[in-house]
Structure 1
């Protein structure tokens, strides 16, 4: 991660990834911010004559601008205080309306941008090649999706709040400068120097906390998912206390980091309040204010108090937003790197016309001297594999553990590309430009079967629109997969909910449902990765017999020698070792 990226550069990168609609919303928010600063300056400007007239009505006679304004509207001398009071109240109410609008709109926009970035991150992950997921853990992906994306909008809104606070502060202080340039400039410069010193000290700490929080974000999710995954072993081996202790330690550390990051911005209020009070008292003592008239001093301190009431929260807001900005940078850069890759990948996918149509499969699948290694320098999982599969063949892949059966399947599926060699379909070499087009021919029964917490019908069809489900095909698929009789015994039949990860089904039932899912796709090629190892021999034979009688080309991994007679071709990976 580049720690030296400037805030402007980071904001440019974030802005680049915003939707056009959000850019317009930000512009509208910016306009609201300017209006807010203008109303604040006008309210201060009106407060000055209000106090002067209240303390000394003769002020009106010496103020040419006020005299001209009220004469224009035929305001009499005895109506001056009431007129200016009404004007002041109206300006304050209008200012409040703008502030409420700003708060509502900014909060709505913050959450909308968070959603936008979360969607972008999800779209990036879902469009990655299979090899990406073999090198990045699911927990890392989940953290990026659910946790890190919110920091991007946090950074944007921190920037907007900083600008809004600066605009209003400048507007308010400008009026004070016009009224009393010398003392006001001294107050502004002293406060600015104090602010800068405090910010520099705390910003370093915030950035370090942000870095550590970024590195720790995934640990709590890791521990929880590991505990769920190892739950039977945890219970049997009595490891509950072990996992509980680890989770407790990381939870406390995470809480401490979040507490530190939340506390640093909140320190500003007592810092600045103490400084301003001490400084103003010193200014009164050393400022020779006795040389000025009582009316002038009363007016100035009334306006100064009003300005302080306005500006102190703003200065605190600038400090707080700046610290949040600084603490968010390490996490935001990670998210931006993901989104930069997403833009690049989306251009590749959009430019690939071949992937938009199905790749014809009329003749054969040919593997030419395929080699594969997960990383350069590591041993080859596959080393020089060559074979041909004709359309309509029933092919079984066998081999000892570690011979690369699942790896070969993943290459045939177009999920990963060979390190060397070629996969050719009807004389067309498969590459990143036509992988998706090839995959449109394929149905898959994976070794690890995922079932959603939904109905049997939805788990088989995996369709976007439930109204498009072909019930006849569903029933036919479940018959071939030998799961129809079990479904008929359920109270809700095909509408029965399976529970999380299909917890209500046995291992064999999950496998048969996965087979039915693949058959439902009506694909040219069905690939099965050890799909029947949880079935008894009799059911396994029935399922395989039904599958191999379909019109599709079948490629299946199996260790069951008694099934080989149902296949017309065997690829033995032991021979390539």
Structure 2
């Protein structure tokens, strides 16, 4: 049972939701009804075959006289006709109930799948920035897409199917015991024992294949991301075959593991079908020759029908057991993510944190791995309305300092105050309502310009007047108006249809649409040519004087309009530049 702890935890998580309790009650009732239908359909075969082979003996039985009276049977032909109709109705009813049970199984699995996918995505998005930079995005994408699909299949759908099959198998065996105890026990030990033996022999291989799928799925996603993300360089360097070859190796491991598991889960069916026919022949000989039973045909008919129902059920149990075992490594990974604390997400209706005076950093230190300080005892005051520049070599701590000011990273020691209010975990979300970030590479969705400016706002709630006003301030409006579809023009995936300067201006317009009081430009113009950079910086320098602008740049010319520049080296501020004469 310890082996299936992750499956139990998954179901504990599911059952906590009250809306599923009622659905599981319906599912349980349908399962009971399905089991009862199996019992009736197998039991009905004896009077049906008895009526066909020897109706006189059947009519003489005391228990059958009740049937004769209810259905007013007055001849052998009438008996055969009515019992045939009744047997067909029983068989069709049993099939209909099984279809309903299958539908409910699938429907509940689909609903739980939606719930789990949404919850995993929520848990992933609601982790801290530090969590995201320490995890490869391909691992998270693989988990939210491919892996969760496998968990839904193995941890939910096949668990439901396993228990449905298990109780159906018990009902069939119980019915066969009532018909002939020795025959039922032999059938159970031969057929059931065969599946148990095969399961014991293949269990380790199935689990190993599950581990192969778990470890290689993120690698496949990573190769796809790298191949499609770097397509320009790949085409120029003619490296397509290298990426294709690497992807093929990873995909082969995944597909062969899937193939092996499918083969191992389906293999018993072929073996047990032959064994089932052999068993029926042997039992026929036993009943006729050893026991001398004159009613051998009805008993064999019941056994044949029972075996015909039992074999697929046992095969389904084995297939579900295989899928559950193959999915255990993935279920464990999903449980780990479901147990993550949502560190940065909460519905906060409060207004943004008041910012009228300054930002104070006191004795701020930070490290990513606890070995080397990226920031070492930083003390800094940024006044509202200032344009502040940060320069320094790569690795000097500029971006980390900005991330701490924006509340993306928490300092290992030290404090941040906004207008003398300590920035704690709760206040960070209120503070971030003041901030807009314009990075070096603006993320643009494959949507319209208007949707990209009002990024994250549902299309029907976008304020077009505000969008246009923001675009004008970012010196983007005239360009948009020159386009055939104006603000409804689609930018293409990652903004491929726009120039670097236009993408940066959309980033600035996005910041202005947010009504941000602090705009952070993290090397926002470093990828632009000099002329485009000057044009973008001109737009930035014309923005509202009450805006506080924090800029990271490598080129000093980018910072010439800043009120103050801080130079960082090895995590410390080594120089404060107020007078920029002769520097630029």
State the alpha-carbon separation in 2 of the partners of residues 54 and 538 from structure 1.
Answer: 97
For each residue in 1:85-119, what CA deviation from the matched residue of structure 2 results, as whole angstroms up to 9, or x when unmatched?
22212111111111222222322332232222111
Q: Tell me whether 1:98 sits opposite 2:93 in the alignment.
A: no
**552, 558, 574: which one pairs with 1:557?**
552
* 1:30 corresponds to: 28
* 1:293 corresponds to: 293
Alignment of 1:309-324 (within 5 A): 309-324=308-323
Matched-pair contact (CA < 8 Å) for 1:482–1:539 = no
How many residue pairs align between the two structures?
566
For each residue in 1:202-242, what CA deviation from the matched residue of structure 2 results, as whole angstroms up to 9, or x when unmatched?
22211110111111111221112112233233233332222
* 1:20 corresponds to: 18
**561, 565, 572: which one pairs with 2:567?**
572
Aligned CA-pair RMSD? 2.2
* 2:535 corresponds to: 539
* 1:481 corresponds to: 474
Matched-pair contact (CA < 8 Å) for 1:289–1:297 = no
Q: Tell me whether 1:174 sits opposite 2:169 in the alignment.
A: no
Structure 1 pair 213–9 and aligned structure 2 pair: CA distance change class (3 A): closer
Structure 1 pair 283–96 and aligned structure 2 pair: CA distance change class (3 A): closer
The secondary structure found in structure 1 opposite 2:415 is: strand
Matched-pair contact (CA < 8 Å) for 1:34–1:164 = no
Structure 1 pair 76–11 and aligned structure 2 pair: CA distance change class (3 A): farther
Structure 1 pair 363–17 and aligned structure 2 pair: CA distance change class (3 A): farther
Q: Tell me whether 1:361 sits opposite 2:360 in the alignment.
A: no
CA shift at 1:338, angstroms? 0.5
Q: Tell me whether 1:134 sits opposite 2:133 in the alignment.
A: yes
The secondary structure found in structure 2 opposite 1:58 is: helix
CA shift at 1:551, angstroms? 2.2
The secondary structure found in structure 2 opposite 1:551 is: coil
- Structure 2: runs of 5+ lacking an equivalent: 575-584
The secondary structure found in structure 2 opposite 1:424 is: strand
Matched-pair contact (CA < 8 Å) for 2:213–2:253 = no
The secondary structure found in structure 1 opposite 2:262 is: helix
* 1:510 corresponds to: 503
Structure 1 pair 431–27 and aligned structure 2 pair: CA distance change class (3 A): same
Alignment of 1:431-446 (within 5 A): 431-446=424-439
CA shift at 1:555, angstroms? 1.4
Structure 1 pair 150–192 and aligned structure 2 pair: CA distance change class (3 A): same
State the alpha-carbon separation in 1 of the partners of residues 6 and 30 from structure 2.
Answer: 25
Matched-pair contact (CA < 8 Å) for 2:449–2:488 = yes
CA shift at 1:357, angstroms? 4.7
State the alpha-carbon separation in 1 of the partners of residues 70 and 300 from structure 2.
Answer: 30
State the alpha-carbon separation in 2 of the partners of residues 433 and 271 from structure 1.
Answer: 63
CA shift at 1:81, angstroms? 2.6
- Structure 1: runs of 5+ lacking an equivalent: none
Q: Tell me whether 1:65 sits opposite 2:63 in the alignment.
A: yes
* 2:74 corresponds to: 76
The secondary structure found in structure 2 opposite 1:165 is: helix
Structure 1 pair 498–312 and aligned structure 2 pair: CA distance change class (3 A): same
State the alpha-carbon separation in 2 of the partners of residues 308 and 427 from structure 1.
Answer: 79
For each residue in 1:504-553, what CA deviation from the matched residue of structure 2 results, as whole angstroms up to 9, or x when unmatched?
01112111111111111111221111222315254144123213x44222
* 2:274 corresponds to: 274
* 1:53 corresponds to: 51
State the alpha-carbon separation in 2 of the partners of residues 470 and 167 from structure 1.
Answer: 58
CA shift at 1:288, angstroms? 6.2
Q: Tell me whether 1:458 sits opposite 2:457 in the alignment.
A: no
The secondary structure found in structure 1 opposite 2:206 is: helix
User: TM-score normalized by structure 2?
Assistant: 0.91
User: TM-score normalized by structure 1?
Assistant: 0.92
CA shift at 1:490, angstroms? 1.2
State the alpha-carbon separation in 1 of the partners of residues 123 and 5 from structure 2.
Answer: 25
State the alpha-carbon separation in 2 of the partners of residues 62 and 7 from structure 1.
Answer: 54
